[in-house]
Structure 1
Amino acid sequence: MASHDYLDDADSVAEFYALTLLAATGMTLMAAANSLVTVFISLELASLPSYVLVSYLKRDRGSIEAGLKYFLIGALSSGVMLYGISLVYAATGVMGLPAIADTITAGTDFVGVLGLGIVMLVAGFAFKTASVPFHFWAPEAYEGAPAPVSAFISSASKAAGFAVLFRVFTTAFPLDVIAGTVIDWSLLFAALAVVTMTLGNFAAATQENVKRMLAYSSVGHAGYVLIGLAALQSGGGAQNSLVLGASMMHLLVYGFMNTGAFLFVALAEYWDVGRTFEDYNGLSKRAPVACVAMTVFMFSLAGLPVGAGFLSKYVLFAGAVQSGFAWLAGIAAINSALSLFYYSRVVKALWIEDPRDDLSLSGQPTGLYVAVLAAAVGTIALLVAFDPVAQTATHAADVLFAG
């Protein structure tokens, strides 16, 4: 819907929608994968069209460079992941996720090989989810890509990456089996969560470009979601389902908030407003409804109680505390407080600063407007209907742990 207006005068529109559907198909298969082979193929099916979508603006040097960097780094990460899969296969002799867990339970003579394979898998997934230190492609790709593509990759692609990450590590490498014998990957994810949320938020706070700020913000939110894996415990039972379900719930809420924010940027680009905070000065005087929606996104991303971001963060951090990771929840809360600084800069520019003299909004992009408002309604609706959706997420986590 948003792309219809944004790409109104662009070439190869049919190819754009075909690539988007192809990437969406890969993301759907990622969530349903039950074998490392299927995991890798579905990841590539989602990634290859994404490289092309990022470089879709063929006459824009920034878009082409972003797509090329995304492709080169993505190819490297795919090689790392494939090598990790080969090491896991060498150590276990199987590719199915439940079969890998059974083999580890029975015992393997190649514990070191298996441990190295798991670490390389973590590195591959860290790239797909834009987690530190494999996040460096994200700011370039999100800034250079068409804004609707940035919304798609930063939300849908990240959610699919975490979905398959949850599935692989809870099914193939359950902590009850692997902790103390091969590698305690929950500690690895705890370290990743801390550096990802901290670097992402501090980098976002230094940006002057709104699109790059949202890109680094996306990195920070990846750190929050990683808490769902970091706070898992061997024999955690229902508590594990609660904290992993909280991560899933935050992913859902984040999808609405982040997509809406990037689509607002698309709206600003459609009007040739510019990309810096100063370019947004006084925009509420010309587009008040859209600016109200952007305010909801910003405050909800920061964790204020105007949208579901408040409850999703609260439940996630509370779950970490209940699992014995109060220190991790404390670091996350500090980072969330820091994020209010840069999110509020957008709100300040929209509502408090005086409008520019040359600010003139031409055109009525109905599709973009509707998409932005739909994301805002979804963000608020999830706050109202949080409990039933959260229960569904917890049940989904139960199913994952059941195998």
Structure 2
Amino acid sequence: MRTGPSRVSVSPRTGIFSVSRPATRTIPMTGRTAEAVVSPRIAALSPVLLGPPPRDLGPTRPVRRLHLNEGPFPPAPAVITAMRAAAADLHRYPDNDGTDLVAALAARTGVAAERIVLGAGSNELLYGAADVAIEPGDVGLSPAPGFGSYARAVAMRGGRSVGVPVRDDGAVDVVATLAAVTPATRLVFVATPNNPTGGLISAADLDRLVAGLPNHLLLVVDEAYHEFARAAGGPDVIAALARRRGPWIVTRTFSKAYGLAGARIGWGIASSAEIADAFRKVRTTFSVSTVALAGARAALDETAHMERLVASTTAERERLAGALAPHGFRAMPSAANFVMLTTPSPADRLAAALRDENIFVVPMPWRETAGALRVTIGTPEDDDALIAALTAIATDR
């Protein structure tokens, strides 16, 4: 874009700057011009195209958002009150270190505050792991299928991502992960429960992972669904990782069980202050807003609300699975706020039919089946609508 000189003026009353610019002539940045600027590793990526949020289509077809693993209910009233109060200070930058929240997390977990780091959702920490550990040509391992940010983060830093197929029950295959490690491996992502399959890593496999991984790499354990996993009897990940001599970080979030997906705030527990400092170095300054910090801090005191949300979601997950089983939909074991259902007919066609009813789920391939649907557990009304729609489709086959 080419322009002539700009004129800058300052109001003598307010001191506010204003800039007037002449008409501009835009030079489109396409073809060879773009190729000269955009890094090849970035050009090779596919954009994340989520599209606009789906909208209600009237009282008989409200939108059913069962595709993003959000919580179906808002945060506790006290959390909303705290966030509204914090909005009065939006003219100030937030506390970059989240001092009050980190202190509360340290008290809650028994981990020193210097080992806790915040992020704009746990997703910022997942990308930060690649910043910390990956140089061009290094290898990062992650479960397949798995959360897309793992492979994307490695590719953005010039590394090579290697997917390790998960087990038939949807849990991370620890034996296969250990076998895939080479001297070039610098980063290993695992998730418990795994998204999109829902499987938990067992205590025995977690111990096997801790004992078997060499110390030259960074281990990232994604616990985005931590509260659901503990309610399902999952192992204590932090206690297991304390036995590892090499570096690690566990990432968690307020997006799921606390109902703060829109606030974008997550946190991590690192193996040492030095590893936490490395993550702080690559964080975007002020990436967690004042309102998000206030909401997360208040949410920690609303344990009963969180536990009710987890319990109701767990009960709905089992109800949904049971209602669809007679129609050929098999639920994979899940310890999260979603369930993966293998389907009796092509999953992509089922997802398209559901979209026509304004119900949104995620279709995906699954070994030796017609595919699968990953379904976020919604309100009872959402789940009833999904059951009715899939039952009708199955009956019409």
Calculate the TM-score normalised by the size of structure 2. 0.28
Bigger strand fraction: 2
Question: What TM-score results when the alignment is normalised by the length of structure 1?
Answer: 0.28
Structure ranking higher on relative contact order (CA contacts 8 Å, 6+ apart)? 2
